[in-house]
Amino acid sequence: MRQVADQTGGRMRVGPGTLYSSIRSLLEEKLIEEVDLREDVRLGPERRRYYRLTSAGRELARSEAERLADLLRAARVKKIFRGDHV
Amino acid sequence: MSEKIYAWLLRLYPSHFRGAYGDAALQLFRDRSRDERGLFRGLRLWLDLLSDLAVSVPLEHRRGKRALIGASAQQRLDGTPLFHVLENGALRLEAQLCGGLVSLVTFCSILVLSAHGGSYRPLSTWPARPLHASAAPSSALERPAQAADRAQEGTLASRQPTMGGGSRGRGNTEPRGFLARLLWLPGGAGSPQSPAPQPGPQGATSAMAGGVKPDAAERQRVIDGVIAILKQYYIDPDVAQKMAEVLLSHEKSGDDDAVTDGAAFAALLTRQLREVSHDLHLEVAYFQNPLPDRPPAPTPERLARYRAAMEEQNCTFEKVEILPHHIGYLKLNSFPDPSVCESTAKAAMASLNDASAIIFDLRGNRGGYPSMVMLIAAYLFDHPEYMYTPRENTTERCWTRSPVPGNKLADKPVYVLTSARTFSGAEHFSYNLKMLKRATLVGETTGGATDVGNFHRIDDHFGMGIRETRAINPYAEPDWAVTGVEPDVKVKAADALETAVKLAESRLQKE
């Protein structure tokens, strides 16, 4: 959650409900998978759940990123951005 | 504290979601609340959480439902029906208690409503009207033995014919329809049973004068007679018992001593009965001339006389005309016996078949036969329609035999002209058309003669009428008894036709 907020400069804030709802969808579509439970010594005895991308998930994420990159390229060609900061 | 609140809010999610991610979600909440301290950050945290709940709770519930529907479809493909368990976990104690409480309240409500089934009819229960004749219960109250007993003791009302139209106004002590029928007052053009051998019309009129003052013995005899009849015939035994007690207590306290004549005594008893029962169909009446022991039986001579009179008066269809703008006008002064006048009635309605609107002039209509009311009303509907009458239990006869083949009047605007002299069967016609919103009533409030029930002879001078049927009034009580039917457009009876014509014309112009 914190990571999402940090990455978007606080514009996007995900709550636990939305987060786990999304996780559930991704699990159902087999885009992520849960890995074994283990304790994070840094966070004390609290139980955490960990997920990782499956190969299908990685593939989808890549294709989505490429789609966005293409979009960005097109935006640059059209000089939608001011300057070259993107 | 805030963790507890969030834990409670998590219960809004479906149990499968809670089971899978509840702890993790709570853990995330702990993380954030540990990191985001202070008023502003705390507020922002809660704002985030609430908006998160608002979005994700409905989403999760929808998703659960979708999964269930999908599963059902799959089972249907296999052709094997299956019950689906919505929740895996056992029901919570609170849920069980809440469900039990709701069930108990529902059960008690049904019990209470069924106990008041006879009298409780919400005004808005339009669909609660009795089912069509094929499903309607047949007349159950009139047992043959009862009918025979009644004949024995001189009950004078017959079930089928006549709403006699003998009454002359509201709220007085004068004998109304069924009592007038006994004497067969003039103007009650409805029946071949007229006239009773004695007393004649004059007798009835003089009955209004009041007669001599009944002495204590006669008063006692009448009260005893009234109580006996109530206990035997009144539809609600508990109310009958209460009425009996009230009558006796009034008598004991000397309230009845002040009456000056028989009519006043009858009126006083009627008031005392109605105070308890609020039943406007209940009435005690006084007759100066001795009452006959038995009802005058219709003899062939009387039937022939009636037939001749009807032929002479065109079955009281006084005028059947087409007014300008194709407005049909029917002035009908009674609802005569269909066995004599059916063809006349059908011819009259057929001659109005092409009218664009129709005006029924019932300003001088004193009532008559319910079957004629139903016969004419049938032309005004394209489907069988229930016509409430307090005179009969709900049976097949209470439904119009609509549609009438070849009839074009079922959807035409209808106006009914009424006056204070519109009685009984004419009120049956007017009341139902008004309540069904099938007609606009124009004129004065009608006479208020329901002419209900059966007449019981108490002695030579006193009798009483009791309603012994439980007709279903879909419009809730009261009907037109005593109060009459209020017109939709109140004008003097003399101006009613002109007003109705204007209304019809303006409506036809708009169409």
The enclosing domain of B325 has a CATH number of 3.90.226.10
Question: pLDDT over 90 for what percent of chain B?
Answer: 28
The whole-number pLDDT of residue A45 equals: 55
pLDDT in tens, B447-464: 877 655 677 888 888 888
Are B278 and B345 contained in the same domain?
no
Residue A84 has pLDDT above 90, yes or no: no
Backbone angles phi, psi at B256, to 5 degrees: -85, -10
CA dist B367 and A23 (Å) reads 80
Record the tokens describing residue B337, joined without a space: 């016996």
Last residue of a domain, one of B82, B115, B148: B115
What band does B358 get if pLDDT is binned at 50, 70 and 90?
Answer: very high
The whole-number pLDDT of residue B327 equals: 94
CA dist B28 and B49 (Å) reads 11
Are B282 and B323 contained in the same domain?
no
pLDDT in tens, B414-455: 999 999 888 888 988 999 999 899 999 999 998 877 655 677
Q: Residue B141: inside a domain, yes or no?
A: no
What band does B148 get if pLDDT is binned at 50, 70 and 90?
Answer: very low
pLDDT in tens, B84-118: 555 556 677 888 899 999 999 999 999 888 776 54
Are B169 and B93 contained in the same domain?
no
Are B105 and B168 contained in the same domain?
no
Q: Residue B229: inside a domain, yes or no?
A: yes
CA dist B58 and B385 (Å) reads 47
Does B21 contact A14 at a Cβ distance shorter than 8 Å? no
**What torsion, rounded to 10 degrees, do the Cα atoms B21, B26, B30, B33 define?**
110
Backbone angles phi, psi at B375, to 5 degrees: -60, -45
User: Nearest Cβ partner of B27 from A14, A23, A46?
Assistant: A46
B237 SS3 class: helix
Residue B18 has pLDDT above 70, yes or no: yes
Eight-state DSSP code of residue B172: S
Amino acid at B325: H
Find the domain containing B13 and state its range: 1-115
- Pairing verdict, β B327-332 and B357-361: parallel
Q: Which of the two residues, B206 and B421, has the higher pLDDT score? A: B421
Q: Which of the two residues, B176 and B57, has the higher pLDDT score? A: B57
Q: Residue B149: inside a domain, yes or no?
A: no
The whole-number pLDDT of residue A44 equals: 55
- How many structural domains does chain B have? 3
Whole-number average pLDDT of chain B: 76
Eight-state DSSP code of residue B368: B
Q: Residue B497: inside a domain, yes or no?
A: yes
CA dist B402 and B99 (Å) reads 48
Among B178-187, B251-260, B268-277, name the one with the lowest average pLDDT. Answer: B178-187
Last residue of a domain, one of B286, B321, B356: B286
Record the tokens describing residue B131, joined without a space: 């089912």
Are B83 and B184 contained in the same domain?
no
Residues of B in contact with A13 (CB under 8 A): 48
Q: Residue B213: inside a domain, yes or no?
A: yes
Q: Residue B266: inside a domain, yes or no?
A: yes
pLDDT in tens, B264-274: 898 899 889 88
Are B168 and B249 contained in the same domain?
yes
Are B370 and B506 contained in the same domain?
yes
* Mean pLDDT computed over B356-368: 92
Are B318 and B280 contained in the same domain?
no
Are B280 and B330 contained in the same domain?
no
Last residue of a domain, one of B96, B115, B134: B115
| Cβ contact B365:B447 at 8 Å | no
Are B319 and B417 contained in the same domain?
yes
Residue A52 has pLDDT above 50, yes or no: yes
CA dist B352 and A63 (Å) reads 81
Does B29 contact A16 at a Cβ distance shorter than 8 Å? yes
Residue B145 has pLDDT above 60, yes or no: no
Q: Residue B395: inside a domain, yes or no?
A: yes
- List A residues 2-61 in contact with B (Cβ-Cβ < 8 A): 2, 13-21, 23-24, 46-49
ipTM for the predicted complex: 0.72
Are B239 and B330 contained in the same domain?
no
Looking at chain B, which residue has its C-alpha nearest residue A25?
Answer: B63
Residue B134 has pLDDT above 50, yes or no: no
User: Nearest Cβ partner of B48 from A15, A46, A48?
Assistant: A15
pTM of the model: 0.48
Are B360 and B498 contained in the same domain?
yes
Looking at chain B, which residue has its C-alpha nearest residue A17?
Answer: B56
Residue B76 has pLDDT above 80, yes or no: no
Q: Residue B33: inside a domain, yes or no?
A: yes
pLDDT in tens, B328-353: 999 999 999 999 999 999 999 999 99
